[in-house]
Amino acid sequence: MTIAETVRTRIGAPAFGGPQLLGPFVRFGLAIGAAIAVFSVVLLLDGTNPLDTVQLMWDASVGTEFGRNEVLVKLIPFGLCALAVAVPARVGLINVGGEGQFYIGAWAAAGAILYSGAPGPALIPLALVAGALGGGAWAGIVALLRVKGGVNEAISSLLLNFVAIQFVNYFVYGPWKDPSGPNWPFSAKFPGSAMLPVVWGDRVTLAIVFVAVGLVAMFLVLRYTRIGYEARVVGGNPLAAERSGIPVARYLFLAMVVGGAIAGIAGMAEVTGIQGRLRPGISVNYGYIGFLAAWLGGHRPLGILLAALLFGAISVGGDSLQLGLDLPGSTVNILMALILFAVLAGRKNRTGVGA
């Protein structure tokens, strides 16, 4: 058996799962049940009734039409940021920089809208391209450090998040601050032609299509193209890929840049779909929650979709805990972390990230 055949046998599972699809879902369900059980113990120690907590979160998220719409709103940044992690993961890279790439994408999109002078119909396509280029360029720094300098991409991408946040703060507190508005660190408001149209409910914008296109594209590329196959080989066994003549460094660089571009598009979708301007704190940990969703979903499109929806429901339901039960806002983060730990603990051992 050749090296290529060996690697193909090892990583040949399709991107959406194979015939043994029920097993992973059972483990997924059991892991979530275990996480909720531990979370219930934490609530009991705090003197809070777990059943009341779960009921309140359910009613606030999937129990009402407003809540379900808000879950779809959260799906946009969570799903795109998860894709930004999953694409590099397929070649064995750990991208923890989705948060920073999100910020830079939002910054680049805002700059294109406010200062390009482009006509109204061109603003949204221009912002989309600018957001992708901004996020991709920011991830390109990580990729260069990894490929040329051997710097661990998890550490460099994580540290660059803080740089990106302060970079955006400089502009919104300084040269891009709206001089005609109130004394707040906001950019000027975007024109109506630069805002993504709402396609469902009151706040679900056209960016929901970006998530669907990204998930489908990831599935098709990974399963049906040579690029996808070679990327999986690199993630499964980079040494075998190198010996087979696959340009490993090129795949590492491109995968990280593509992931950053997707996170940049998420930033563009936030400023043109929800905020309507650039401001500090544009992301509510979207990059980090996307990282959790990608790992929870096994870096596969269907898993990412389900995980992003789950975290969206938890996030929307968690907002009600502060008002309904007087719990701190960090309570929902505890549940998210417990779910991730439980699912990872239940997974079979894997040799590589991209396997």
Domain count, the chain: 1
- pLDDT per 10-residue tile (average), the chain, 355 residues: 44 44 64 84 84 83 86 95 95 94 97 92 95 97 94 95 96 90 86 93 92 95 92 88 89 96 97 93 91 89 92 84 72 82 66 42
Burial class of residue 117, CB neighbours in 10 A (0-12, 13-18, 19+): exposed
Report the pLDDT value the prediction gives residue 50, as an integer from 0 to 100. Answer: 84
Check residue 9 and give its pLDDT.
44
Domain assignment present for residue 298? The answer is: yes
**92 within some domain:** yes
Predicted local distance difference test score (pLDDT) of residue 331? 78
Asked whether residue 220 is assigned to any structural domain, the reply reads: yes
34 inside domain = no
pLDDT confidence of residue 205 = 94
Residue 333 domain flag: no
Q: Residue 57 has what pLDDT? A: 83
pLDDT of residue 348: 55
Q: Examine residue 352 and state whether it is found in any structural domain, yes or no.
A: no
Domain that holds residue 120: 72-312
> What is the pLDDT at residue 238?
87
pTM equals 0.86
Tell whether 336 is covered by a domain: no
Instruction: Tell me whether residue 288 is in a domain.
Output: yes
